[in-house]
Structure 1
Amino acid sequence: MTVALYDASVPVFLRYLGQLAQLLRLAQRHDNAASLLDARLAPDMHSFASQVAIAASFPLRVCLPLAGRAVPSDGPTPASFEVLHERVAQAAAALALLPRSDFDGADQRVIESRAGEALVSLPGPAFLFQYALPNFFFHLTAAYAILRHHGVALGKEDFDGWHVYPRVSA
């Protein structure tokens, strides 16, 4: 059985952009919400706002080239929850408009992307499965971990939307 690159990317990213929006809503309700935007897991890691912005832009950095389209510039890292919400919503809206047919031949395309200071050049399937999906989930997980580390009451269900566990009081 082969999996179409559209099916392995667009619906997955749409689902988890929804979860990212949920994380933002929960972060905004926290007593110290304003300080969360600059919060980090370690001094040399990206801030929460940067992790969210990267996670929001990654689906377009992946799916647009797979669909044979150019990737627009991200712009600066948003400095407010409102702009982060907009960034996530805009990414989801753009993904939802991508026709499945644009992914025809994606398995034959070689995709180039920046990975920090490195240039990654991979065939479509390797780009998606070995580079893009792991990187997207890295930044989503980092955003989740920052919130947990700073006392936001989150559970696994807030990350994936599937699990349900009883909340345990600290």
Structure 2
Amino acid sequence: MSISLHAAVVPNWLQILHAMRRMLEKAESWASTEGIDEGDLFKTRLIEDMLPLGYQVKSCWTHSKLALDGVRSGTFSPDMSPPPTTFSACKALLDEAIAACDAVDEAELEKLADNDLVFTIGDKLRLDFTVQDFLLSFTTPNFFFHSTTTYDILRMKGLPVGKQDFLGRLRLKG
């Protein structure tokens, strides 16, 4: 059985983006009920040398919405603006990522799969990929790293979530 690049990437991103959106809604309600300061929550890191919660959510947007923009243009550079520090800003990024994933056409992605893509961070780093290798070996692992870290930070702070909250809606047979 052959699987398209779209099928290998986009439905998985959507599953987790929707789950993250629901977790943030749950976290917003929980923080309000528990009297947890939103600003403090978004500054939370798993460990000192990791970036905070808002950065983790923003990175899921980067490695989905911006990645799709990059495969179309042939270039990708991570967004270096400050991360969001509110639930509403994070939910807006997730909504934008969901809309971008919903809008990408399978045929379009297949046509782009073998194209070149250049990843850069200023003059410091350049990595040359095909679109397929960029999505499968770089962007998707980063997407899952940052979505997992988002879950881990919220869980560490006391949000009552479990594995099913992270997995979201499974694509079951039938």
Same structural fold, with TM-score higher than 0.5 when normalized by the shorter chain: yes
Residues 70 and 121 (structure 1), Cα distance of their counterparts in 2 relative to 1, 3 Å cut: closer
Amino acid at match of 1:39: T
Amino acid at match of 1:110: D
Aligned residues: 163
- Per mean C-alpha deviation after superposition, the further-off stretch among 123-132 and 69-78 is 69-78
Match of 2:66 in 1: 61
Match of 2:153 in 1: 146
Q: Taking every aligned residue pair, what percent have the same amino acid on both sides?
A: 26
Partner of 1:134, secondary structure, is helix
Structure 2, unaligned stretches of length 5 or more? Answer: none
Amino acid at match of 2:139: A
Amino acid at match of 1:66: V
Amino acid at match of 2:118: E
Conserved? CA contact 1:68–1:106, under 8 Å: no
Amino acid at match of 2:144: F
State the alpha-carbon separation in 2 of the partners of residues 62 and 115 from structure 1. 14
State the alpha-carbon separation in 1 of the partners of residues 54 and 114 from structure 2. 35
Match of 2:46 in 1: 41
State the alpha-carbon separation in 2 of the partners of residues 110 and 69 from structure 1. 6
- Residue 3 (str. 1) matches residue 13 (str. 2): no
For the aligned residue pairs, the C-alpha RMSD in angstroms reads 2.4
Structure 1, unaligned stretches of length 5 or more? Answer: 164-170
Measured against aligned partners, the alpha-carbon deviations of 1:34-89 in whole angstroms (never above 9, x if no partner) come to: 22111000111110111011112210232233345776984432121111111110
| Higher relative helix content | 2
TM-score for both structures, normalised by structure 1: 0.83
Q: Within 5 Å, give how 1:71-110 maps onto structure 2.
A: 74=79, 75-110=81-116
Match of 1:135 in 2: 142
